[in-house]
């Protein structure tokens, strides 16, 4: 078997992988190596330059402070040994021969007493008092200055460097510096401020460790050539996309689209599935075509069987509900017959109460049976209306003329909710007929949201009676339990009981 024949027998995915690997793998490896090396070299060079610039700026500021401290100490040595009225003038003459040194200073004795000032210098606090030969540097954020205090033999000299001098020293030494901030133990002084966000900061101790210089330099981007290096693999992927599109279009997309059109044109029950015979060289697509044909045939066969089974199940369910309804009506009739022949009024009332509850359940099944074809659940309006008529018909003799006022919206719900509603209405109306037969009962059912409604029953009997009486306690337990079946608390107000129940959304 030749290599061409072996390649032709490979799956389409393997063909594409081999082709792309042969074309792009050498290029990708070379470009990745070159790009990675170039980026690392550029990053290393930029980091080194940033570090050099930061160190140069810090060194320049430290050199400026050191020169001024040394010059002040040398210039103040003789005036402090022989202090007099011209001590500051003598020190200023000595400083005049040294370029780049501040001409603003003050002289103090060893105990911190101010001797004189020169150049409009604002005297600082006598503390700290330094021992001979020491130098102290600190920040004055209010005056935006760096204060230098040196202690030659015989006293102390204090000078200050303005922020402009510090800024010039830093920028002359490092042109790339964007931010310079000096810090001591208590405060900070911003020498150069920048609004640039991507700065790289470095910190250096200066002034014998009395200050810390925080230098910020903008994060340097890689050069144009370095930026183009990572784009070279993109050219490789463009080439891969073109080759892949050509191959996939020829081997996969066109045959799959023909197969898709044939499948989309198929309508169940409208005839057999007509699939194209020629779908290109892809063996997988041809197998997919045959699999579609077999699957559709099995689906048609299964659908026919399911249709017959569903129709039989529908008939069976309809028959079950019909028989349950009839059986409940027979039970209600038997209870009525036995109730009329009962020997005592209590037995007759008991038979009548049971008969009313069985009748309520029968009404629910009858309405459920009527609504099965539409699958919209049980309609509550006809159910409550029929239940009210049934309760009037089976009312005890003293409550034959009881008035039931209905305000019912057109709502639908499940069978479980309908059973609980029917029993709740029956319990409350029966309680009203037994203990307040002359008073009307108002029954309202209003939608409160898309998925809920509120059932409310109002009667004066709900406000009277001994709460500790066994009949009243049993009544409250029953209606409370029915409300729990609706998964909503029973709200008891003066003369009115109400509960929320779930309903179907409006059609």
Domain count, the chain: 3
| Same domain assignment for residues 141 and 46 | yes
Query: Residues 174-185: what's their mean pLDDT?
Result: 86
Closest listed residue to residue 455, CA positions, set 424, 427, 479, 484: 424
Looking at the predicted structure, is the pLDDT value of residue 398 above 50?
yes
Tell me the CA distances in angstroms from 188 to 146, 191, 214, 320, 391, one per residue in order: 10, 10, 10, 91, 91
Residue 170 lies in a domain: yes
Looking at the predicted structure, is the pLDDT value of residue 373 above 50?
no
Q: Which residues have a Cβ under 8 Å from the Cβ of 480 and sit 6 or more positions away?
A: 490
**Tokens describing residue 89:** 């003038």
Instruction: Examine the fold and report which residue of 221, 242, 261 is the final residue of a domain before the chain moves on.
Output: 221
Query: Residues 3-26: what's their mean pLDDT?
Result: 71
Indicate the average pLDDT of the chain.
79
Query: How many C-beta atoms lie closer than 10 Å to residue 47's C-beta?
Result: 13
Q: Which residues have a Cβ under 8 Å from the Cβ of 344 and sit 6 or more positions away?
A: none
Query: Residues 152-181: what's their mean pLDDT?
Result: 86
pLDDT value of residue 442: 92
Residue with tokens 């073109």: 242
Residue 105 lies in a domain: yes
Looking at the predicted structure, is the pLDDT value of residue 34 above 80?
no
Query: Residues 60-81: what's their mean pLDDT?
Result: 87
Residue 491 lies in a domain: yes
Residue 4 lies in a domain: no
| Same domain assignment for residues 205 and 65 | yes
Are 503 and 452 spatial neighbours (Cβ–Cβ below 8 Å)? yes
92-147 residue pLDDT tens: 888 887 777 888 888 888 888 888 888 888 888 888 888 888 899 988 888 888 99
| Same domain assignment for residues 125 and 70 | yes
| Same domain assignment for residues 56 and 205 | yes
Residue with tokens 């081997």: 251
Quick one: CA torsion of 397, 400, 402, 404, rounded to 10 degrees? 120
284-302 residue pLDDT tens: 777 777 787 788 778 777 7
Look up the pTM and report it: 0.44
| Same domain assignment for residues 383 and 258 | no
Instruction: Examine the fold and report which residue of 295, 311, 327 is the final residue of a domain before the chain moves on.
Output: 311
Residue 332 lies in a domain: no
Q: Which pLDDT band, with edges at 50, 70 and 90, does 252 fall under?
A: confident
Residue 7 lies in a domain: no
Q: Percent of the chain scored above 90 by pLDDT?
A: 6
308-324 residue pLDDT tens: 887 777 777 666 666 66
| Same domain assignment for residues 238 and 202 | no
Which residues span the domain enclosing 179?
A: 18-221
| Same domain assignment for residues 214 and 240 | no
Looking at the predicted structure, is the pLDDT value of residue 69 above 60?
yes
Regarding predicted confidence, which is higher, 332 or 447? 447
| Same domain assignment for residues 180 and 250 | no
Instruction: Report the C-alpha gap between 149 and 102 in whole angstroms.
Output: 13
Q: Which residues have a Cβ under 8 Å from the Cβ of 270 and sit 6 or more positions away?
A: none
Residue 29 lies in a domain: yes
User: Quick one: 185 exposed, middle or buried, by C-beta within 10 A (0-12, 13-18, 19+)?
Assistant: exposed
Angle of CA points 80, 82, 86, to nearest 5°:
80
Are 468 and 424 spatial neighbours (Cβ–Cβ below 8 Å)? no
| Same domain assignment for residues 48 and 112 | yes
Q: Which helix (H) or strand (E) holds 122?
A: none
**Is the bond preceding 128 in cis, omega lying within 30 degrees of 0?**
yes
| Same domain assignment for residues 67 and 145 | yes
Residue by residue, DSSP assigns 465-507 as: S-TTSHHHHHHHHHHHHHHHHTTSPPEEETTEEEEEEE-PPP-
Helix 12-81 and helix 87-96, axial crossing angle in degrees, nearest 10:
130
205-248 residue pLDDT tens: 988 888 898 998 887 666 556 666 666 766 776 777 677 767 77
Residue 189 lies in a domain: yes
pLDDT value of residue 230: 64
Q: Which residues of 231-258 are buried (b: 16+ CB within 10 A; e: fewer)?
A: eebeebeeebeeeeeebeeebbeebbeb
| Same domain assignment for residues 102 and 251 | no
Query: In angstroms, what is the C-alpha Rg of the chain?
Result: 50
| Same domain assignment for residues 278 and 366 | no
Looking at the predicted structure, is the pLDDT value of residue 500 above 90?
yes
416-431 residue pLDDT tens: 888 888 888 888 888 8
pLDDT value of residue 346: 64
User: Quick one: 112 exposed, middle or buried, by C-beta within 10 A (0-12, 13-18, 19+)?
Assistant: middle
Instruction: Examine the fold and report which residue of 221, 240, 272 is the final residue of a domain before the chain moves on.
Output: 221
CATH number for the domain including 457?
A: 3.30.565.10
pLDDT value of residue 166: 84
């Amino acid at each position: 078997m030749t290599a061409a024949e072996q390649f032709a027998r490979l799956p389409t995915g393997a063909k594409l992988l081999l082709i792309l690997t042969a074309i792009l793998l050498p290029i990708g490896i070379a470009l990745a190596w070159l790009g990675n090396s170039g980026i690392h070299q550029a990053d290393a060079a930029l980091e080194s330059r940033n570090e050099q610039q930061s160190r140069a700026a810090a060194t320049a500021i430290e050199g400026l402070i050191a020169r001024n401290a040394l010059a002040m100490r040398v210039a103040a040595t003789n005036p402090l040994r022989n202090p007099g009225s011209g001590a500051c003038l003598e020190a200023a003459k000595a400083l005049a021969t040294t370029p780049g040194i501040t001409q603003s200073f003050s002289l103090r004795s060893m105990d911190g007493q101010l001797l004189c000032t020169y150049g409009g210098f604002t005297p600082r606090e006598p503390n700290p008092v330094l021992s001979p030969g020491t130098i102290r540097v600190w920040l004055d954020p209010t005056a935006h200055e760096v204060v230098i205090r040196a202690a030659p033999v015989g006293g102390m000299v204090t000078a200050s460097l303005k922020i402009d001098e510090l800024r010039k020293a830093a920028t002359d030494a490092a042109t790339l510096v964007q931010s310079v901030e000096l810090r001591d133990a208590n405060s900070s002084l911003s020498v150069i401020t920048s609004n640039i966000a991507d700065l790289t900061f470095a910190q250096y101790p200066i002034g014998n460790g009395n200050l810390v210089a925080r230098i910020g330099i903008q994060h340097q981007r890689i050069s144009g050539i370095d930026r183009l290096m990572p784009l070279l693999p993109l050219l490789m992927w463009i080439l891969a996309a073109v080759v892949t599109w050509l191959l996939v279009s020829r081997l996969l997309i066109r045959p799959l689209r023909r197969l898709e059109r044939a499948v989309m044109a198929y309508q169940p029950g409208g005839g057999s599935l007509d699939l194209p015979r020629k779908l290109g060289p892809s063996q997988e697509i041809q197998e997919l075509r045959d699999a579609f044909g077999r699957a559709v045939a099995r689906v048609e066969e299964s659908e026919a069987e399911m249709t017959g089974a569903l129709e039989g199940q529908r008939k069976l369910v309809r028959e079950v509900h019909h028989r349950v309804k009839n059986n409940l009506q027979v039970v209600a009739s038997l209870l009525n017959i036995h109730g009329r022949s009962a020997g005592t009024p209590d037995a007759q009332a008991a038979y009548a109460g049971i008969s009313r509850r069985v009748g309520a359940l029968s009404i629910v099944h009858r309405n459920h049976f009527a609504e099965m074809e539409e699958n919209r659940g049980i309609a509550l309006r006809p159910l409550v209306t029929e239940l009210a008529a049934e309760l009037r018909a089976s009312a005890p003799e003293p409550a034959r003329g009881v008035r039931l006022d209905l305000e019912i919206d057109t709502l639908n719900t499940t069978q479980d909710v309908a059973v609980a509603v029917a029993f709740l209405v029956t319990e409350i109306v029966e309680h009203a007929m037994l203990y307040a037969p002359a008073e009307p009962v108002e029954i309202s059912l209003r939608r409160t949201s898309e998925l809920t409604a509120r059932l409310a029953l109002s009667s004066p009997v709900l406000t009277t009676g001994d709460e500790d009486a066994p009949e009243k306690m049993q009544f409250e337990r029953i209606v409370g339990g029915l409300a729990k079946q609706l998964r909503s608390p029973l709200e008891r107000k003066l003369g009115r009981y109400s509960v929320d129940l779930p309903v179907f959304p409006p059609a």
